[in-house]
Structure 1
């Protein structure tokens, strides 16, 4: 679907005429538009692998009293949501608010590891079928979900790590709601304050997964730790194990420039 057609379709879903639109940056895997409507509303339109699934994820995040865009309309082709303010980064108070919001998210219980449906990062599937234990879920649904897609030498190291996960990860941490792709680009801020979380890939699992992702390409600012609270013993040792999944995804999506990241994390995980 072309950009003009997408804007017209989204406006029609809201029974409005489109006033103007522009493509937003950051859409490596999906088309994202800022759309202004004739009634004065400013919305965001996004394509994706499963717009209805993403709408359900945003609803789950908002139900946990965590800021995220309100879903205004959804179809099999696109998701229309409110446009949150976004300009600049978080202040100390904003980082504290993010920590507190993430704590609330991770206090939202699930009934099993995984999600009600599979999802995807573009062509990379996210397999969310339940597993009886957390180490088994992380091994089978994440680290070894598609080993044939990786260079053989790295697949073998991941297999060695997967066999040892029962000794490295908690057997049955409470399954809690995860954002699933929590990096700085998916945290919106305005005037230093938290506007909301976007682009979720939700499932239920160990809360440290989101923290590991947030620390992969940077680190949370001052105030975050106070807002989130104390971590469980051993979190630092588990962090590279959890960071391996986004490293695998980046390698598969964007190529060999991420081989070094994958290798460094495997070394940090002791394999």
Structure 2
């Protein structure tokens, strides 16, 4: 639970109440109410400073995200957004937000700092070649942590990526962990939370968003059409979150990884 004394020092007034919120599997999230009645969200963890920088980068594109109020050590204090159930206008707003996010581009593939999902490292050192980035920084990020047969299949697939992926797609700003649980629907639309940002092919975010379902009505219309051949690339991009789930949550996700590999004949 967040330290009330530290938060009071950081925010300049006492914390009147602390309420746990549903969060991810890798961090603690709570709502705090300050003495003046202001409600805020506090997240604790070793990488919240990096997350604060990512949220700021997202907001600069015009894509909605919780505003960063303060950050110190392992504490991140954010704007409290009131969540609603997913709705058609929200899905349409998400498509527009993601389009704005992806329109912001970098000069290389990667990010200024590495990140992690718990023990699953996310190396982000920039590269100029996209197939090389996807092979070295994603599919082969930690082969020693995977079943040996899966690692061998990934190594074989990595050698084929120059023939399967575009070499120089626009290095779009990616959310990096865009499943529906990291979309917060509000009365005004939809906001992006819990990012793992880097620059890469925009199709990566779309693949993740479709991994455990599909966006609701209105999303595709506001986001727009994908580049020809996206269907052939989707399994390659889905492999990364599937590998992360296998690493974090165990053999129950092996079938997802194998299905992706089979789709690309690896």
TM-score by length of 2: 0.97
Instruction: Note if contact 1:86-1:195 (Cα within 8 Å) is conserved in structure 2.
Output: no
- Provide Cα deviations, 1:84-112, integer angstroms capped at 9, x if missing partner: 111312x2221111111101100001111
1:190-269 matched pairs, under 5 angstroms: 190-191=186-187, 193-269=188-264
Query: Equivalents in 2 of 1:128, 1:166: separation in Å?
Result: 19
**2:43 is aligned with 1:50:** no
SS state at 1:232 partner? coil
TM-score by length of 1: 0.95
Instruction: Note if contact 1:84-1:195 (Cα within 8 Å) is conserved in structure 2.
Output: no
- Provide Cα deviations, 1:150-184, integer angstroms capped at 9, x if missing partner: 00010011111110000000001111100000010
**2:92 is aligned with 1:96:** yes
Q: What is the total number of aligned residue pairs between the two structures? A: 266
- The alpha carbon displacement at 1:4 in A equals 5.0
**2:15 is aligned with 1:18:** yes
- The alpha carbon displacement at 1:194 in A equals 2.2
**2:170 is aligned with 1:157:** no
Query: Equivalents in 2 of 1:29, 1:194: separation in Å?
Result: 26
- Mind listing any 5+ residue stretches in structure 2 that lack a counterpart? none
Instruction: Note if contact 2:93-2:190 (Cα within 8 Å) is conserved in structure 1.
Output: no
Match of 2:180 in 1: 184
Instruction: Note if contact 1:49-1:119 (Cα within 8 Å) is conserved in structure 2.
Output: no
Match of 2:32 in 1: 35
Query: Equivalents in 1 of 2:63, 2:19: separation in Å?
Result: 28
2:140 pairs with 114, 137, 144, which one?
144
- The alpha carbon displacement at 1:62 in A equals 0.4
Match of 1:85 in 2: 82
Instruction: Note if contact 1:85-1:195 (Cα within 8 Å) is conserved in structure 2.
Output: no
1:128 pairs with 124, 127, 131, which one?
124
- The alpha carbon displacement at 1:48 in A equals 2.5
- Mind listing any 5+ residue stretches in structure 1 that lack a counterpart? none
- The alpha carbon displacement at 1:22 in A equals 1.4
Instruction: Note if contact 1:187-1:194 (Cα within 8 Å) is conserved in structure 2.
Output: no
Match of 1:9 in 2: 6
**2:73 is aligned with 1:72:** no
SS state at 1:164 partner? helix
**2:172 is aligned with 1:172:** no
- The alpha carbon displacement at 1:132 in A equals 2.6
Query: Equivalents in 1 of 2:64, 2:98: separation in Å?
Result: 10
- The alpha carbon displacement at 1:9 in A equals 1.9
Query: Equivalents in 1 of 2:176, 2:184: separation in Å?
Result: 16
- The alpha carbon displacement at 1:197 in A equals 0.7
Spell out structure 1 runs of 4+ moving beyond 3 A: none
